[in-house]
């Protein structure tokens, strides 16, 4: 198992926010053992299963996102028709009828008052804040799980993606995206997500952004996995930077003239159109040179997905979301 994790730091000069992207290797040993007969390469378990899972899970995520988006738009149209939205604007209420229904089921007193206060504050946030803080909250919960010694076995089995010949649980291609073992790792990726996520979110909307984030994480994990099936080094990888790299790639595509600063060139702002390919080149060199601090293959997988989706996805995928959306019951 490879210890430690490295950092890559960018400073987004448009709003002068700090961005750090990190996907690294696990800093702890694995509790999973290699069974007899698992050491050799197997196309079905090593290549086909993770690829099918990654593609299938991404399709499901986009289908769910399209369905939620369509249902939300239907509810908004119906609400305008009933005048309920106008009433909410006039009264200044941040709570929707489902919110009020949920609150009515809580016991009166301090519990309900606290829930009302928290829900009003949550509804007061901008849509991109709700999305980005929600992702950060999930990452924080997973990070908390790593803090408990009694949960170490559970966390290693379910929130690390193990490379062959260690047995691989396919769903960890997804769960490892939300997993950080150390506070600095969590902090840097969270700062990176919030830094560039808002601009991309405003272009995509909540549902499409979430689908892209999850699919970018899956692409990162699948590419990282496939790059190691022949060498079979063992070990494990985790972190959100593959998904964040997808967001960064989209930001570079949408706003190529936005300025950022690379950590190794402090004080020198660089247009994203130039910085993004430089960082990709750095990861290519790291991957081919087998640098073992960062998961460079994972970075490349996320970056490739983000760029391709920014260029083609909104038209080829989201532009046909009526075909992705599940039928109403």
Q: Concatenate the DSSP letters of all residues of 57-122 into one string.
A: HHHHHHHHHHHHHHHHHHHHHHHHHHTHHHHHHHHT----HHHHHHHHTSPTTHHHHHHHHHHHHH
Distance CA 169, CA 157 (A): 8
> Is there a contact between 315 and 321 (Cβ–Cβ < 8 Å)?
no
Is 99 exposed, middle or buried (CB count within 10 Å of its CB: 0-12, 13-18, 19+)?
middle
Distance CA 210, CA 70 (A): 15
**Which of 128, 161, 296, 299 is the catalytic position?**
299
By three-state DSSP, how is residue 271 classified?
strand
Q: DSSP state, 206? A: H
Could you tell me the CA-to-CA distances from 273 to 16, 45, 268 in Å, in that order?
17, 38, 15
Distance CA 183, CA 259 (A): 28
**Which of 241, 320, 328, 329 is the catalytic position?**
241
> Is there a contact between 239 and 189 (Cβ–Cβ < 8 Å)?
yes
Catalytic-residue membership of 299:
yes
Catalytic-residue membership of 241:
yes
Alpha helices by DSSP H, listed for the chain, are: 43, 49-82, 84-91, 97-104, 110-124, 127-146, 152-158, 172-175, 183-204, 206-226, 241-254, 272-288, 296-308, 314-316, 321-324
> Is there a contact between 279 and 263 (Cβ–Cβ < 8 Å)?
no
Q: DSSP state, 178? A: G
Distance CA 178, CA 174 (A): 8
- Residues catalogued as catalytic: 241, 299
């Amino acid at each position: 198992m490879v210890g430690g994790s490295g950092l890559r730091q960018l400073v987004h000069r448009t709003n002068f926010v700090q961005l750090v992207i990190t996907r690294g290797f696990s800093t702890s040993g694995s509790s999973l053992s290699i069974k007899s007969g698992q050491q050799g390469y197997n196309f079905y378990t090593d290549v086909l299963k993770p690829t099918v899972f990654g593609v299938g899970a991404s399709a499901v995520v986009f289908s769910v996102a399209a369905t939620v988006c369509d249902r939300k738009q239907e509810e908004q149209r119906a609400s305008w028709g009933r005048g309920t939205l106008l009433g909410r604007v006039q009264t200044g209420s941040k709570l929707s009828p489902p919110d009020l229904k949920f609150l009515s089921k809580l016991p009166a007193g301090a519990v309900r008052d606290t829930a009302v206060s928290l829900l009003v504050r949550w509804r007061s946030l901008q849509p991109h804040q709700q999305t980005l803080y929600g992702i950060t909250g999930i990452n924080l919960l997973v990070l908390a799980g790593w803090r408990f010694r009694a949960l170490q076995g559970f966390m290693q089995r379910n929130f690390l993606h193990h490379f062959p010949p260690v047995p691989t649980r396919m769903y960890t291609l997804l769960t490892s995206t939300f997993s950080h073992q150390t506070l600095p790792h969590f902090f840097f990726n969270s700062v990176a997500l919030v830094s560039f996520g808002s601009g991309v979110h405003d272009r995509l909307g909540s549902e499409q952004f979430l689908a892209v984030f999850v699919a970018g994480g899956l692409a990162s994990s699948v590419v990282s996995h496939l790059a190691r099936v022949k060498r079979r080094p063992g070990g494990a990888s985790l972190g959100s930077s593959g998904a964040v790299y997808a967001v960064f790639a989209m930001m570079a595509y949408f706003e190529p003239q936005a300025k950022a600063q690379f950590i190794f060139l402090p004080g020198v702002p660089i247009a994203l159109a130039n910085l993004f390919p430089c960082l990709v080149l750095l990861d290519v060199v790291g991957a081919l040179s087998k640098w073992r601090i960062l998961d460079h293959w994972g970075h490349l997988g996320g970056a490739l997905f983000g760029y391709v989706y920014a260029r083609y996805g909104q038209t080829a995928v989201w532009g046909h979301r009526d075909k992705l959306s599940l039928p109403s019951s």
